[in-house]
């Protein structure tokens, strides 16, 4: 922190601009320069040996570390109130590095409710090849009975992709502490502006930084934050070995995105609340899944652990797949795309896109039906977005 080390006394908008920021030592540049190099000179033989052994700090090779990437990691650690953070090439690189670094053959991982399709595929299909057993439970009540002596990790999303399921992170953290398991939360939908899982007792928090962290749809990356004892093995055992490092160019874009994160999330959250209320009354809509609606099963928990309710929702159209297709194809301001958290509003049909590789039985158990559409609200004027939804729903 360039002006004060007392992060607790600063608001999130201030932290987003100043937290972890240091003017460049050589030029004085406020914005972190992009260090576009693959290798770094370490001077002499002995210094190289000390750096590679870990006895001496310093950069060696950009897969191991890069000043621009380090600057982004430091800023994310501040925003998540973490001891350390490590940046990765994508959200899935962050997920896979975390799981493979902290789990080993013979361990069990429990995941709760619906997850992003890529994460679900990794847990269900890839981990068993390495002797790691996945255990699925639908809710917190089932979690209590699922722990065994082999349970080493519990992985959750909240709000969950795409049906916006809400879990009490304090309760997840408490149960994991009692069982001696590491708790991991994908905080992509909420961002550190809306929810800070580590302050609620969670051990590890990760993001697809491609989404709200970047915020402009022009960079791909991921980040993991938590206690140093958990982050160090993710960096040394997996990031270096798997090679899923973040490029300095992407890191610079992520750092730029962080400065406006609170403003963008506030704007999209306020719009999403109004849009969810509008859609909830529309006769063509069977259900709206948004934690800001009092009818949402997780409303009270979300109100407790979220600053606002976020910019993402899902809607169930009464006409199933045909209605979903018609609705999506008639949208004009809202773009059909599978990402989220951009300045642009985006919408997609999870069953045929993001979760198409998930077996149908599992999709349906998770509430991902043929009539479900996920919507990510951007920063456009709320009234214009409502008008677009209204015309797209005509005739349904």
Domain boundaries, the chain: 10-259, 262-393
Q: Is the pLDDT of residue 4 over 60?
A: no
Using CA atoms of 330, 333, 336, 341 in order, give the dihedral in degrees to the nearest 10.
Answer: -150
User: 100 is written with which tokens?
Assistant: 């493979």
**pLDDT of the residue at 6:** 57
Q: Is the pLDDT of residue 3 over 80?
A: no
**pLDDT of the residue at 273:** 98
| Annotation marks residue 139 as catalytic | no
Largest CA distance in the chain: 75
Long-range Cβ pairs for the range 258-261 (8 Å, 24+): 258/16, 258/72, 258/75, 258/76, 258/79, 258/213, 259/16, 259/17, 260/16, 260/215, 261/16, 261/79, 261/191, 261/192, 261/193, 261/212, 261/213, 261/215
**pLDDT of the residue at 366:** 81
Confidence class of residue 29 from pLDDT cuts 50, 70 and 90?
confident
Q: Is the pLDDT of residue 319 over 90?
A: yes
Q: Is the pLDDT of residue 369 over 90?
A: yes
Q: Is the pLDDT of residue 7 over 70?
A: no
Least Cα distance to 231 among 255, 210, 204 occurs for 204
**Over the stretch 207-238, which tens digit does the pLDDT of each residue have?**
999 999 999 999 999 999 999 999 999 999 88
- Which of 211, 235, 264, 363 is catalytic? The answer is 211
- Which of 51, 59, 75, 116 is catalytic? The answer is 116
| Phi-psi category of residue 258: left, alpha or beta, with phi > 0 → left and psi -120 to 50 → alpha | alpha
CATH of domain 10-259: 3.40.640.10
| Mean pLDDT across 374-392 | 98
CB 275 within 8 A of CB 386: yes
- Which of 13, 63, 124, 259 is catalytic? The answer is 63
User: Residue 185 and residue 198: Cα distance in Å, rounded?
Assistant: 9
**pLDDT of the residue at 84:** 98
- Which of 186, 203, 342, 388 is catalytic? The answer is 186
**Over the stretch 133-188, which tens digit does the pLDDT of each residue have?**
999 999 999 999 999 999 999 999 999 989 999 999 999 999 999 999 999 999 99
CB 194 within 8 A of CB 213: no
Q: What's the topology of domain 262-393? A: 3.90.1150
Least Cα distance to 249 among 23, 37, 14 occurs for 37
Q: Is the pLDDT of residue 2 over 50?
A: no
Indicate the average pLDDT of the chain. Answer: 94
| Annotation marks residue 186 as catalytic | yes
């Amino acid at each position: 922190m360039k002006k004060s080390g007392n992060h607790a006394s600063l608001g999130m908008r201030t932290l987003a601009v100043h937290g972890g920021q240091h003017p460049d030592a050589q030029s004085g540049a406020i914005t972190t320069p992009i260090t576009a190099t693959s290798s770094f000179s370490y001077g002499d033989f002995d210094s190289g040996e000390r750096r590679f052994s870990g006895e001496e700090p310093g950069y060696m090779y950009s897969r191991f570390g890069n000043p621009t990437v380090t600057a982004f990691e430091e800023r994310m650690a501040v925003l998540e109130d973490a001891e350390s953070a490590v940046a990765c090439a994508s959200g899935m690189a962050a997920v896979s590095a975390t799981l493979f670094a902290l789990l080993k053959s013979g361990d069990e991982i429990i995941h709760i409710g619906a997850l992003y399709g890529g994460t679900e595929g990794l847990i269900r299909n890839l981990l068993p090849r390495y002797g790691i057993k996945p255990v699925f439970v639908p809710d917190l009540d089932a979690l209590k009975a699922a722990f065994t002596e082999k349970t080493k990790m519990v992985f959750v999303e909240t709000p969950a992709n795409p049906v916006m399921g809400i879990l009490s992170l304090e309760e997840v953290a408490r149960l994991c502490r009692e069982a001696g398991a590491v708790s991991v939360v994908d905080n992509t939908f909420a961002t550190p502006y809306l929810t800070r899982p580590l302050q609620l007792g969670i051990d590890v928090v990760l993001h697809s930084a491609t989404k709200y962290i970047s915020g402009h749809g022009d960079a791909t990356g991921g980040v993991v934050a938590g206690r140093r004892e958990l982050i160090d093995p993710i960096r040394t055992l997996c990031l270096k070995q798997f090679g899923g490092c973040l490029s300095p160019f992407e890191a610079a874009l992520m750092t730029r995105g962080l400065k406006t994160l609170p403003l963008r999330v506030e704007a999209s959250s306020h719009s999403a609340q109004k849009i969810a209320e509008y859609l909830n009354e529309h006769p063509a809509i069977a259900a709206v899944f948004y934690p800001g609606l009092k009818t949402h099963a997780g409303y009270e928990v979300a109100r407790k652990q979220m600053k606002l309710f976020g910019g993402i929702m899902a809607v169930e159209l009464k006409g199933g797949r045909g209605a979903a297709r018609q609705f999506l194809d008639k949208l004009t301001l809202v773009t059909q795309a599978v990402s989220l958290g951009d300045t642009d509003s985006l919408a997609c049909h999870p069953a045929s896109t993001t979760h198409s590789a998930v077996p149908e039985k599992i999709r349906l158990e998770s509430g991902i039906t043929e009539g479900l559409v996920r919507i990510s609200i951007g920063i456009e004027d709320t009234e214009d977005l409502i008008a677009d939804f209204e015309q797209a729903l005509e005739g349904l």
